[in-house]
Structure formats: C-alpha cells, structure tokens
Chains A and B, each alone.
Chain A
Amino acid sequence: MDSVLQARTLSKSFGALRACDGVDLDLRTGEIHALIGPNGAGKSTLIKLLAGSLTPDTGSVHIDGTDVTREGVAARARRGIARTFQVSALAMEDTVLQNALLGAIGARRSAFRFLRPALRDEQARMTAEAALARVGLSDAARTPVAQLSHGQRRQLEVAVALAQSPRAFVMDEPMAGLGETGSAEMTALLDGLRHEAPILLVEHDMRAVFALADRISVLVAGAVIASGTPTEIRADEAVRRAYLGEEA
C-alpha cells in the first residue's frame, strides 16, 4: 500500500460535540487529496489529529505504515509531516532565509549544534535556498518576514514546509486571503509539489480545489460523507445537498 499518511476510524469529541467521527483517510504518493466541508465540519480538528497537536479518543494515525497515534507534533514532523498554517506562523523578526533554514535544520536534526553559524551549514542552506527559489522568494531571502506582503508570507509558509524535505504536506488553507492572482500562483506552485510529496489540502477556494485535487473527501459534522475524484464529488447528491449548492 503506497499510503504515506493514513487515518483509521479517527474520533475526537469535545464534550457533547463530535468534532471528528470515525474518519478514514489516506494520502497516497503523488496525489493532492483535498478535504472540503462547511465551516465547523471538523477540518481543523482533523488536521490537528493528523499533525499531532490533538490526541484522538479512538482510532489511529500511521505515517509510512508506522503507528504514530501517541506521538507529538515534533516527532511526527521528524517522520516527515510538514504542516502549513491557515494563519501564518512564522518568526516575524527573522529573515525569510532564517525561517526557511528552520525547516531544513529541523529535518536534518541539527538544532542542537551550538557553535557553528547556521548560515555556514552549506547543505541546510542549499535546501533552504532551493525551497525559496521554488516558491519565488529568492530575492527576498534577506528581508525580515514582518516586511513581507500577506501573499509572500503564504509562499514562505510553503517554503518552510518544503525545506523540511517532507514525506507529506498537510496544508491548512494555503489560499486564505490571497487575491485572484495570488491564488492562481499558489495553485501553480502546489500543482508541481505533489510529485515531491503528496499534499493533504484543506481549502475553501473551490476553483483551486477542483483544479488541483486528484481526490476529494467531503467532511460534514465530523464525518466523511463522500470521497472520490472531482467528477464523482461534483455528481454526488449528498454533497450537493450538504455543501456545494447549485453553483458547483
């Protein structure tokens, strides 16, 4: 089975609210798997369960066949999960390059080296610079993140994840707040990334989702009500009723 990231009967309740209800999910090599659903459907909870910042009540998470259900965020990241955040989580005072380096340092497990300058680690630096080139931020490498535009910060989020040389991307609304041009650029970027590592994509921008996804899972009230190719999802009656409406 070529499933890189796998969830089995994942459930999580907050009091009476079942935020995640028996979810099965597979992220396979080379694909973009989009996760869509109305607000409050439990997409964020599912992402947290997969990334390790929440522990499920029942069910399991596997990375490359290894059970990681009890592992935390950092341990799962070291196994190759690279997450991007809906609201950019970056070191604002640091430069673009320093942020990208952080991804490379984490992946290379070299964070506990004390005396050699981080910028002198040629391999980490090459990884970081390649990631910046990939998202089109090479010219801004020396700029503090605080001076970047919103769109550039979204790109940097992806670059930091890319610098982790991940096994799988978990992206929480990478298009959030981007204009039409920004969305188109991000779509083109993600389109090429699926061959580096598969992407689990949570996104509200339906145009991007249907342009990118190899498969789509629809989450409603914590449960997956449908999963399939974009064509299948478009044709699905339950999805139409619950979410897509007439415009889809």
Chain B
Amino acid sequence: MSREAFVNAAILLALLAVPLWALANDEPFTITLATRAAILALAGVGLNVALGLGGLVSLGHAVFFGIGGYAMGVLASHAQSYDPIMEAPFLIEGTKSMPIIWIAALVTSAIAALGIGALSLRTSGVYFIMITLAFGQMAYYFAIGWPAYGGEDGLSIYVRNGFPGLNTLDPIQFFAIAYTLLLLALLLVWRLSKSPFGLALNAARQSAARVETAGIRPYTLRLTAFVISGALTGLAGALFADLNRFVSPSMLSWQTSGEIMVFIILGGVGRLCAPVAGAGMFVLLEHWLGGTGEFWHIWLGAILLFVVLFARGGLIGALAGRGRTDG
C-alpha cells in the first residue's frame, strides 16, 4: 500500500469514526457536521474530475450543486402539495423517494453540464474560468427571479425524503447514506483515473497536442469529464438540500463554486481524497471559527494563502509526500 493510499484510508476512517463516536456519546449535532462534510466532499469529488484529472478550473460548479438541490426541492415540494409537476403531454408527479430524486439530480445536472461544457470548453485558461462563472451567475439570478419555487427565499421541505428500509430522519442513518454515496463516487473516480479514458484525460491536461496526435480529441475527453463531474456535484446538491431540508439560490452562488474549489486546494489538487480532507477541514474551521463572528472567512483565507504559497500539495501532499499517481 502506497503512503497516499494509507493517508486516504486514514481520512476516510476518521470521517466514519467521528459520527460513530458522536452516536455513542449522544451528540447528534456532531453527526450532522460529519454528514455535511461527507456531502460537501462528494461535491468536491465531482469537481475534482474536471479540475484534478482534466485541469479544468471551473468556477461554475455551483450550477450543478444547485440543480441537484432544486431537483430535490421541486420533486419533494410537489409531492408535499400533491400537485403534479406536469400533466400534459404526460404526467410527472413529485416524489419523496431519495433514489428517484438522485437519478433526477444526476440526469438534470449532467444535461446542464453537457450544455455549459459544450460552450465553455471552446475556450481555455482564464476565459474558461470566466465563462463558467458567467453561467453560474446566470443560473443564480434565474433562481432568484423564479417565483414558482420560492425565488430569493428558497424552498423548505418539511420532512426529509425517504430511502427504502431506512429512517432518514435518524442522523446516523442519513450519514450512512451520504458516506456510502461518497465511497461509491470515490471508487468510480479511482477506476476512472486508471482507465484508458483517465489516462488520455490526464495526458490532455499535460499536452493536448500529444493526445490529439494520438487520434483522440481533447475536447471530447474534456466534455465527457465535465459531464461526469457536473453529475456527481449535482448528486451532492440533492443530498445537501435533503440535509438542510431547504434549498435556496445561495446554493447556486459563485461563493459556493469557490468553496467547492477550496476543498480541493486545501486537500491537494489532483489527489483522489483531496475533497474529503478539504471538506473535513472546511467544516471543522467553519464550526470552530464560525463562533468568532461573521468574519471567520478571513482565517479561512489566511489558511488558504498558506497552503497555496507554502504547501501546494495541500493536506494530503503534506502527509503523503509529493507526486501524483504512481501508475
């Protein structure tokens, strides 16, 4: 087992141990914090496909996070009011079933990623950052101006959605759902990174000319990665909305995009478990420093600066040493 694999296992076990400890000591709020970390980590795992593997600095991933959130909000609110989403040409009813909501979140955010990616990936570098940011802002203001689902006030869902055989209102059971999905996403991304697709995508990040000369279009690779990336972040959005039983335009804001990227930078760009380490650190800092007042982000900023200036490999780089994947 490589040192990085060891660090990854330790991080994932820690994320599992904290809520189990909290369960034994009857501290449900700590379980909720761990769930929040797992869900935010999942959003980061999604972004990491584009950013870490593909080298695509997207500042618009809040779009997919928000679409996942609204997929949950729209479906659940219609189920709550027994009012179908549409009747013609065919009937679509709301649902309170998590698996169906997840599929809806995955599909809608994948479609959005296909559209946004198809246009944005014609640019690169700083233009790509700006155009993804612009799409993010468009989605944000659309959500604010769309009164049917709460507009600026957002949308509350009174009872958490259900999963067959589980009581999702029990914090530890909901944590188990989020943690399992996180593990599955990590497994998927790990397999992806070793596959021919991952090899080609990773090479396209380093030398697009080489990949193209080998007969593979970098654009198609990147668009595929962007869609997978958006879909995973969308799934995290649906879970996040379910955690809070609330969805609002703030999920779509550019600050959210920035935060998801911060997880990866804190954890270490290009590392499989960077989003888990980063989201864990973020939730802890938010919890500890959040009490110091409105401006706790200043301290987050200082830590981020330190990482970018002195510890480019992030937390995992510091623990596991240099180097990307070892083949």
- Find out whether the CB atom of A106 lies under 8 angstroms from the CB atom of B216: yes
B287 contacts the other chain (Cβ, under 8 Å)?
Answer: no
- Find out whether the CB atom of B203 lies under 8 angstroms from the CB atom of A102: yes
A121 with B196: in contact, given A51-B213, A82-B213, A98-B327 (CB under 8 Å)?
yes
Contact mask for chain B residues 194-219; partner A; CB cutoff 8 A; 1 contact, 0 none: 11111110110011011111111100
A117: contacting residue among B194, B212, B215, CB under 8 A = B194
Shortest distance in angstroms between A125's beta carbon and chain B's nearest beta carbon?
Answer: 11
- Find out whether the CB atom of A74 lies under 8 angstroms from the CB atom of B197: no
Question: Which residue of chain B has its CB nearest to the CB of A98?
Answer: B199
* Residues 311-327 of B at the A interface (beta carbon under 8 Å): 324, 327
A114 with B195: in contact, given A51-B213, A74-B217, A106-B214 (CB under 8 Å)?
yes
A164 contacts the other chain (Cβ, under 8 Å)?
Answer: yes
Question: Which residue of chain B has its CB nearest to the CB of A103?
Answer: B214
Q: In which size bucket is the chain A interface?
A: 35 or more
Shortest distance in angstroms between A138's beta carbon and chain B's nearest beta carbon?
Answer: 15
Task: Give the size of the chain B interface in residues (CB under 8 angstroms).
Answer: 27
- Find out whether the CB atom of A113 lies under 8 angstroms from the CB atom of B324: no
Shortest distance in angstroms between B139's beta carbon and chain A's nearest beta carbon?
Answer: 28
Question: Which residue of chain A has its CB nearest to the CB of B219?
Answer: A74
- State A118–B206 Cα separation when bound (angstroms): 18
B3 contacts the other chain (Cβ, under 8 Å)?
Answer: no
Among A17-25, A55-63, A87-95, A196-204, which stretch is in contact with chain B?
A: A87-95
B257 contacts the other chain (Cβ, under 8 Å)?
Answer: no
A102 with B211: in contact, given A74-B217, A112-B224 (CB under 8 Å)?
yes
- State A127–B216 Cα separation when bound (angstroms): 17
Question: Which residue of chain B has its CB nearest to the CB of A166?
Answer: B215
Chain B residues with Cβ below 8 Å from A98 are 199, 203, 327
Contact mask for chain B residues 142-176; partner A; CB cutoff 8 A; 1 contact, 0 none: 00000000000000000000000000000000000
- Find out whether the CB atom of A114 lies under 8 angstroms from the CB atom of B191: yes
- Find out whether the CB atom of B215 lies under 8 angstroms from the CB atom of A106: yes
A113 with B202: in contact, given A105-B216, A106-B216 (CB under 8 Å)?
no
A74: contacting residue among B195, B196, B206, B212, CB under 8 A = B212
- Find out whether the CB atom of A118 lies under 8 angstroms from the CB atom of B217: no
* Residues 57-80 of B at the A interface (beta carbon under 8 Å): none
- Find out whether the CB atom of B196 lies under 8 angstroms from the CB atom of A77: no
Shortest distance in angstroms between B287's beta carbon and chain A's nearest beta carbon?
Answer: 36
A5 contacts the other chain (Cβ, under 8 Å)?
Answer: no
Chain B residues with Cβ below 8 Å from A89 are 207, 209-210, 213
Chain B residues with Cβ below 8 Å from A102 are 199-200, 203, 210-211, 214, 216
Shortest distance in angstroms between A61's beta carbon and chain B's nearest beta carbon?
Answer: 16
Chain A residues with Cβ below 8 Å from B214 are 77, 102-103, 105-107, 160, 164
Chain A residues with Cβ below 8 Å from B220 are 112
- Find out whether the CB atom of B215 lies under 8 angstroms from the CB atom of A113: no
A91 with B206: in contact, given A74-B217, A98-B327, A112-B224 (CB under 8 Å)?
yes
Chain A residues with Cβ below 8 Å from B215 are 74-75, 77-78, 106-107, 109, 164
Give the one of A51, A95, A106, A121 with max B CB within 10 A: A106
Chain A residues with Cβ below 8 Å from B283 are none
Chain A residues with Cβ below 8 Å from B195 are 113-118
- Find out whether the CB atom of B192 lies under 8 angstroms from the CB atom of A101: no
Shortest distance in angstroms between B54's beta carbon and chain A's nearest beta carbon?
Answer: 13
Shortest distance in angstroms between B101's beta carbon and chain A's nearest beta carbon?
Answer: 25
- State A77–B207 Cα separation when bound (angstroms): 16
Can you give 19 contacting A-B residue pairs, CB < 8 Å? Answer: A73-B213, A77-B212, A77-B215, A82-B213, A92-B206, A93-B202, A94-B206, A97-B327, A106-B215, A107-B214, A112-B224, A113-B196, A114-B197, A115-B195, A118-B194, A118-B195, A118-B198, A142-B327, A160-B210
Contacts A107-B215, A118-B195 known; 15 new A-B pairs at CB < 8 A: A75-B215, A77-B213, A85-B210, A90-B206, A91-B202, A91-B206, A91-B210, A93-B324, A99-B210, A102-B200, A109-B215, A116-B195, A117-B194, A118-B196, A164-B215
| 5 tightest A-B CB contacts, nearest first | A106-B214, A77-B215, A106-B215, A91-B203, A91-B206
Enumerate chain A interface residues (CB-CB to B < 8 A).
Answer: 51, 72-75, 77-78, 82-83, 85, 89-95, 97-99, 101-103, 105-107, 109-119, 121, 124, 142, 160, 164
